[in-house]
């Protein structure tokens, strides 16, 4: 789980409740600051788990501009700050027995 700031909480836009904030912005950009101010450490951890599905399905090269643009778009849609449909992934939930 990403490091949380024990002295600061945010109203997490993803989880809809007041939770410990990230210790620092995840990116050195305005959008990184926005995430720092509106997404909890727990919410960010959920994105990190979800992002692996996109990286694996689409073989995303995060060192390329195309790869980072694709992942940023998925993140913005996942958070609900941009409209659109999330790309499909190859992951399927395990069946209950």
Average pLDDT over residues 81-85: 95
4-79: CATH superfamily: Fe(II) trafficking protein YggX (1.10.3880.10)
Rounded to an integer, what distance in angstroms lies between the CA atom of residue 26 and that of residue 6?
17
Does pLDDT of 40 surpass 70? Answer: yes
| Stated length of the chain | 97
Rounded to an integer, what distance in angstroms lies between the CA atom of residue 58 and that of residue 51?
11
Domain boundaries, the chain: 4-79
Q: What Rg value do the Cα atoms of the chain yield, rounded?
A: 14
Q: Give residues with Cβ within 8 angstroms of 10, minimum separation 6.
A: 18, 19, 21, 37, 38, 39, 40
Entry pTM? 0.88
**Sign of torsion over alpha carbons 56, 61, 67, 73:** positive
Q: Write out the two tokens for 17.
A: 């409740």
The pLDDT tens digits for 41-80 are 999 999 999 999 999 999 999 999 999 999 999 999 999 9
């Amino acid at each position: 789980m990403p490091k949380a700031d024990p002295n600061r909480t945010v109203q997490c836009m993803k989880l809809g409740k007041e939770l410990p904030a990230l210790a620092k912005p995840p990116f050195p950009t305005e959008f990184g600051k926005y995430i720092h101010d509106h997404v909890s450490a727990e919410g960010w951890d959920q994105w990190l788990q979800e992002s692996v599905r996109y990286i694996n399905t689409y073989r995303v090269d995060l060192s390329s501009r195309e790869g980072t643009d694709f992942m940023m778009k998925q993140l913005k849609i996942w958070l609900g700050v941009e409209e659109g449909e999330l790309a499909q992934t190859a992951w399927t939930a395990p069946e209950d027995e």
